[in-house]
């Protein structure tokens, strides 16, 4: 099977001849806009339940993550408050210890 390459000018001979190994067949099909719209709608409605389930899962995971982060922040805040209070109590104990020594010396005289 042979095919010609065509020519740059009208009504002239072909520039060359191609063998069957140098060209390929193409299959062309006409699909109307209405048919494409029907296919898109069918695909969308077939996937819609899965998309809704996926959305619900994502929402629950987001809510769980939000609650975990809030609980973690609250625990961190409580720990910081406890550490601050512990520091204040240790400082107060040290101050009372320092004040107790001179008072004991005075009461001893």
Tell me the per-residue pLDDT of 26-45, one tens digit each, with 9 for 90 and over: 899 999 999 999 999 999 99
Please give the residue range of the domain that contains residue 59: 2-108
pLDDT of residue 100: 72
Please state, rounded to an integer, the average pLDDT across all residues of the chain. Answer: 84
CA–CA separation, 62 and 39 (whole Å): 33
What total number of domains does the chain contain? Answer: 1
For 91, the token pair is: 């400082």
Residue 80: pLDDT band with limits 50, 70, 90 = very high
For 29, the token pair is: 């099909």
Supply 32's token pair: 């109307």
Pairing of β 2-4 and β 17-19: antiparallel
Most confident of 3-7, 10-14, 16-20, 81-85: 81-85
């Amino acid at each position: 099977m042979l095919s010609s390459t065509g020519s740059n000018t009208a009504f002239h001979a072909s520039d060359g001849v191609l063998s069957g190994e140098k060209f390929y067949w193409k299959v062309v099909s006409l699909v109307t806009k209405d048919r494409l719209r029907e296919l898109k709608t069918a695909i969308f409605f077939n996937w819609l339940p899965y998309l809704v389930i996926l959305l619900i899962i994502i929402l629950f995971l987001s809510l769980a993550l939000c609650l975990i982060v809030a609980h973690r922040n609250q625990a961190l805040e409580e720990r910081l408050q406890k550490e601050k209070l512990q520091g204040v109590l240790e400082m107060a104990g040290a101050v009372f210890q320092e004040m107790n020594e001179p008072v004991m010396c005075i009461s001893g005289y």
